[in-house]
Amino acid sequence: MRVYRPASQYLPASLVAASLGAFSAWCGFEWSLAFIPAGLFVLSAALLYYLGSRPPIEVTDRGLRIGDRSIVWSDIDRIETTSWNAPLVLKLTLTDSRKLRLVYPGDVASADRLWREIRRKARAARRRQTEASLNEQNEGRPDPAVLRAPRSRLLRHEDEQEINELYRQLKAVGRLDSSAGGSDERAEDARN
């Protein structure tokens, strides 16, 4: 089991952004334009706090656990990625058509490792599930050699015998060259 925790710098960064927001709001009482950066700092602090307080993601052999929510590998039907890799944002589509957004605010290396591990384990579970369903379907079927269709006849029996006779005659004569046939015809034409 591997546990992926949020990066440790998000919570301190949210405190710094909240402090700067409070300072900008205090300055806003003297100069009203200072409320604009105060609002931006407060929004940044809220976003950073949200990212820093995300629950850890546990990757086990049976499934994926995000906080108190568990997802079995075979339930993951599709994994879509965004262009963001820090924080990592994945859109998981489950087999019952539910969609789940996974946000992992870690460093780039661990986010990449988490994404590869989720993709690999979900693919392996789907592959095992597909193979099991194919094996179940094939158990009830008879052997394909038994089910072969009878050979359909293209020629009548007499035509087949005539072709075999012509083949034996050609084989007895040997190889017929087109140049030899052409010179024989010229010799007959010269005699006439």
Q: State whether 24 and 73 are in the same domain.
A: no
The C-alpha torsion from 181 through 187 and 189 to 192, rounded to 10°, is: -140
Tens of pLDDT, residue by residue over 124-165, are 888 887 777 777 766 666 666 656 666 677 778 888 899 899
Both 134 and 63 in a single domain?
A: yes
Q: Give residue 32's domain range.
A: 8-53
In a domain, 171, yes or no: no
The pLDDT of residue 26 is above 90: yes
Query: Which residue has better confidence, 152 or 73?
Result: 73
The 10 Å Cβ neighbour count of residue 84 is: 11
pTM across the whole model: 0.59
pLDDT tens column, 85-124 = 778 888 888 888 888 888 888 888 888 888 888 888 888 8
- Inter-residue contact 26 to 5 (CB < 8 Å): no
Which of 138, 162, 183 delimits the end of a domain?
Answer: 138
CATH code of the domain in which 109 resides: 2.30.29
- Answer yes or no: are the C-beta atoms of 34 and 25 closer than 8 Å: yes
Asked if 88 and 119 sit in the same domain, the reply is yes
Mean pLDDT is highest, among 42-46, 56-60, 119-123, for: 42-46
* pLDDT for the residue numbered 36: 93
Alpha helices in 29-156 (DSSP H): 35-52, 108-139
Give the count of beta carbons closer than 10 Å to the beta carbon of residue 106.
24
Return d(Cα 11, Cα 46) in angstroms, integer: 10
Say which range, 29-33, 47-51, 137-141, 157-161, has the weakest mean pLDDT: 137-141
> What is the CA 182 to chain-centroid distance, rounded?
64
Residues 68 and 116 in one domain: yes
Answer yes or no: do 97 and 30 share one domain. no
- Whose tokens are 């007959």? That residue is 188
In a domain, 185, yes or no: no
Half-sphere exposure of 124 (CA within 13 A, CB side): 10
- The confidence score (pLDDT) of residue 102 equals 86
Domain end: 109, 138, 167, which one? 138
Is residue 1 within 8 Å of residue 39, measured between CB atoms? no
**Within this chain, do residues 42 and 108 fall inside the same structural domain, yes or no?**
no
d(CA 128, CA 133): 9
Residue 101, pLDDT score? 87
Q: Is 107 within 8 Å of 135 (Cβ atoms)? A: no
37 and 69 part of one domain: no
If asked whether residues 75 and 128 sit together in one domain, one would say yes
Residue 125 counted as domain residue: yes
Task: Write the CA distances from 37 to 23, 49, 120, 122, 132, integer angstroms.
Answer: 10, 18, 44, 44, 58
